[in-house]
A and B are shown apart, each in its own frame.
Chain A
Amino acid sequence: MGFFGQLFVMAVSAIFIQNFVLAKFLGLCPYLGVSKKLDSAFGMGMAVIFVMTVASAFTFLIDKYLLVANGLEYLRTLAFILTIAALVQFVEMVIQKNAPALYKSLGVYLPLITTNCAVLGVAILNVTPLPDGSTYNFLWATLNGFLSGVGFTFVLLAMAGIRERLELVDMPKSMRGFASGLILAGTMALAFYGFMGLKI
């Protein structure tokens, strides 16, 4: 399998088969919280892709050359989450300066990317051995971060698209908001189960 073949397998796996949100239960808070409007979902998705890609690259290097090299694996969680927090802070400052409207609509969820478990999840997954015992190298770890972010954004946008249309639907008042969002998520998770049988 050439480079592009491998890339394709990883993409299909990260976006459909092992989707972070629907199969791994990671990153649910932003998934439910920022999926009411397509615009803010798009902004959030882009921010997450960026943070996940850069975080994957940074944490991989930190893990390999700082932690494992010195036998400091027990500091992993601390080092990773700090890297992510610093990155998010950076993204927040950039968005606040260049896109104030987007900043307003992302609201409380921007700092919460820090605790978006999908980001820490991908960072930790990148440094754990694969089923065949090998580990990712720097390039593949970064690509994995990027593609997992794309997978997250994909379901976030799908969800936001559906919820925007549901705004106009006549449904019981008690089902509005998070309740219908969760049931939608369940239906989507069910649909994504269909991908699990995929053998690549």
Chain B
Amino acid sequence: MKFYLKLGFILLAFCVVATAILAYVNSVTKPRIDELKRVAAQEAMAKLIPNAEFSDVVIHLPEGASTPDSLVYYIATAKADSTKILGYILSAEKHGYSSNVKTMAAIDTEFKLINIKVIEQAETPGLGANCSSDSFAERFKGLLPEKLLVDKDGGEVKAMTGATITTRAVTNSIRETIAIIRKDIESRANTLPEVEA
């Protein structure tokens, strides 16, 4: 018994040391990682709609409808003319094949997709992971939200070979998010200049 206690104690000591090191590294690196992520998101936005300024809008979702209770999207206005709305940027998220796939999408004032960019994913290398590529984003350009379904589900998004689930996650998350923000955008359509002022 005493022997096993000693073993347990040694193992515990190793764990404590490992945990302490991890906690320290985490505390040092976390702010940096978050900052890098923020910068990356801003760069992605600037790439999706160039020459624009972004202002964020927070929508509070009805309680119990979904897990997060609020959602943020961005209104993009022309740098030269702050009353001219170029479009909107939204971020969508859904679980794909082996990871959470986070996507940013830009839509114009008619809700037509301008471009998308997958920000975060850990899908199967070579198959689902290809969703970060530009050729994948190409498949979404110019689509209306009504057409935003994987071809196998009757829509117009061509699924990647061997990665239908990843494609579906990206497609459906964008469509659902557009549906939510669409109501909000339409309700404030008349008051837009004031929002931007």
Residues of A within 8 A of B (CB): 24, 74-75, 78, 82, 128-131, 133
Q: Is the CB of A74 within 8 A of B18?
A: no
A128 contacts which chain B residues (CB < 8 A)? Answer: 95, 99-100
A24 to B96, CA, bound (A): 13
A74 to B95, CA, bound (A): 19
Q: Name the residue on A nearest B164 (C-beta).
A: A196
Q: Which residue from B22, B26, B100, B165 sits with its C-beta under 8 Å from A129?
A: B100
Most buried by B among A24, A128, A131: A131
Decide yes or no whether B39 CB sits under 8 A from chain A.
no
Q: Is the CB of B22 within 8 A of A131?
A: no
Question: B64-106: contact bitstring with A at CB < 8 Å (1 yes, 0 no)?
Answer: 0011000000000000000000000000001110111000000
Within the complex, the shortest CB–CB distance from B64 to chain A, in Å, comes to 13
A129 contacts which chain B residues (CB < 8 A)? Answer: 95, 100
A133 to B96, CA, bound (A): 11
Q: Is the CB of A133 within 8 A of B66?
A: yes
Within the complex, the shortest CB–CB distance from A16 to chain B, in Å, comes to 16
B51 contacts which chain A residues (CB < 8 A)? Answer: none
Q: Name the residue on B nearest A82 (C-beta).
A: B15
Residues of B within 8 A of A (CB): 15, 18-19, 22, 26, 66-67, 94-96, 98-100, 165, 169
Q: Is the CB of B169 within 8 A of A74?
A: no
B22 contacts which chain A residues (CB < 8 A)? Answer: 74-75, 78
Q: Is the CB of B94 within 8 A of A131?
A: yes
Q: Is the CB of A131 within 8 A of B19?
A: no
Q: Name the residue on A nearest B8 (C-beta).
A: A86
Q: Name the residue on A nearest B67 (C-beta).
A: A133
Q: Which residue from B18, B26, B67, B95 sits with its C-beta under 8 Å from A131?
A: B95
A82 to B8, CA, bound (A): 13
Show 24 residue pairs from A and B whose CB-CB distance is below 8 angstroms, ordered by the A residue.
Answer: A24-B98, A74-B22, A74-B26, A75-B19, A75-B22, A78-B18, A78-B19, A78-B22, A82-B15, A128-B95, A128-B99, A128-B100, A129-B95, A129-B100, A130-B95, A131-B94, A131-B95, A131-B96, A131-B165, A131-B169, A133-B66, A133-B67, A133-B94, A133-B95
A150 to B138, CA, bound (A): 41
B19 contacts which chain A residues (CB < 8 A)? Answer: 75, 78
A96 to B67, CA, bound (A): 47
Within the complex, the shortest CB–CB distance from A173 to chain B, in Å, comes to 33
